[in-house]
Amino acid sequence: MKNKLIRITTIPISLEKLLSGQLQFMNSYYQVIAVSSEKEKLEQLGKSQKIETYSIEMTRQITPIKDVIAVMQLYFFLKKTKPFIVHTHTPKAGIVGMLASKLAGVPVRLHTVAGLPLIEATGFKRKILDFVEKLTYKCATKVYPNSFGLLEIIKQNNYCSSSKLHVIANGSSNGIDTSYFNPNLFSDDEKTKLRKELSISTEDFVFIFVGRLVKDKGINELISAFNLLQCEVTNLKLLLVGNFESDLDPLSQETLETIKNNKAIISVGFQTDVRPYFSISNALVFPSYREGFPNVVMQAGAMNLPSIVSNINGCNEIISNEVNGLIIAVKDEKAIFEAMKKITNLSVYDVMKSNARKVIVDNYEQEKVWNALLEEYQSFEKFLK
């Protein structure tokens, strides 16, 4: 009989997208149970991946009463199922999962850190989030920052002892399936058709952003920089792939108006498959304020796109400046503008494009990450003896 492995995220889409394929892989070695909120979506995920599921309600905001209820519900579930490992992702799932696991006496309690939203917080809110982060790590057996930059940030903030910290493989929570993110899968006819649908000509140099269209992703600065660039460079398009989130981290009204009125900016909303949009683009622009280890930068690289990224952890580990992209200052509209202008120079662009896919294949192939995590799990089996 296989030992039980429980993987927890706040919402099911994190299990589906951020850990795509990994739960099925681990299910060959452990009895995997996925825990998250949004019961209906979670059950659909369980059926599609042939794994067990258990739903508890969790919110992404600070909701003390609901959070205590979630901890108690999970505690009773863990006492009943007696898992060998509980492994959490995302901040809310982290505190709920690690606290409940500690109380329930789960022998191996693991938490992956894929970003620290609290870095942008200030005042009393920052103090609360710091406390929650420290409590999460205190309850964990091991903490896995998914980048070496995050590892250093955690050490600098004294969230836990260095002995608890470990980066799996070269970073990333899941790696990249480079056979899936492969530009050769898209024919010239398919690309021509999509370009036509989006009013993109063959002469256009296409910048793409993939992700949530929110302030923290640097969208205000990106839109402003693109506007300026249009005054100097012709035949440009900016493709935005992702949803607006007006409730949590809204864009400025000026940015929203520009997106609406500038015909060179094409917003296509959330897409379950981003590869076709990468296939008709030239370069990713990802001026985020903070990240863990961004999948989108690896996806773009695997699709043979160089990337313009902020000088933040994760991004500056995947991208080497002027090798497979450009690294720029955070929250700097001028830096975005200058990098976008530079990369439209085809002699510069071609060099970086030639390296883009190779860097991802050599360092972040998905099965390498999965096998490194499996080895980590198996190293804990001494706890069973």
Query: What pLDDT score was predicted for residue 326?
Result: 98
Span 163-179, average pLDDT:
95
- Judge if 98 and 164 occupy the same domain: yes
- Judge if 109 and 195 occupy the same domain: no
Span 153-173, average pLDDT:
95
Length of the chain: 385
Q: Report the chain's mean pLDDT, rounded to a whole number.
A: 95
Question: Is residue 271 very low, low, confident or very high in pLDDT (cuts 50, 70, 90)?
Answer: very high
Query: What pLDDT score was predicted for residue 385?
Result: 61
Structural domain span for residue 95: 4-175+366-384
Bridge partners of 321?
Answer: 325
Q: For 8-36, how does the pLDDT look when each residue is reduced to its tens digit (9 = 90+)?
A: 999 999 999 889 899 999 999 999 999 99
Give the whole-angstrom CA distance, residue 137 versus residue 159: 7
Question: Is residue 117 very low, low, confident or very high in pLDDT (cuts 50, 70, 90)?
Answer: confident
For residue 64, with 0-12 CB atoms within 10 Å meaning exposed, 13-18 middle and 19 or more buried, which class applies?
exposed
pTM summary value: 0.85
Give the whole-angstrom CA distance, residue 23 versus residue 87: 11
Please determine, for residue 160, whether its predicted confidence score (pLDDT) is greater than 90. yes
CATH code where residue 294 lies: 3.40.50.2000
**Counted domains in the chain:** 2
Residue scoring higher pLDDT (64 or 107): 107
Nearest to 154 by CA among 136, 170, 128: 136
Question: Is residue 345 very low, low, confident or very high in pLDDT (cuts 50, 70, 90)?
Answer: very high
Q: Strand ranges (DSSP E) for 253-294?
A: 265-267, 283-286
Note every long-range contact of 260-265, with CB atoms under 8 Å and residues 24 or more positions apart, other chains counting.
Answer: 262/226, 262/227, 263/199, 264/226, 264/230, 264/236, 264/237, 264/238, 265/223, 265/226, 265/237, 265/238, 265/240
Question: Is residue 1 very low, low, confident or very high in pLDDT (cuts 50, 70, 90)?
Answer: confident
- Judge if 55 and 88 occupy the same domain: yes
Residue 261, phi then psi, degrees to nearest 5: -100, -20
Query: What pLDDT score was predicted for residue 17?
Result: 85
- Judge if 79 and 115 occupy the same domain: yes
Please determine, for residue 245, whether its predicted confidence score (pLDDT) is greater than 90. no
- Judge if 67 and 208 occupy the same domain: no
Question: Is residue 291 very low, low, confident or very high in pLDDT (cuts 50, 70, 90)?
Answer: confident
State the DSSP code for 275: H
286, 318 contact by CB (below 8 A):
no
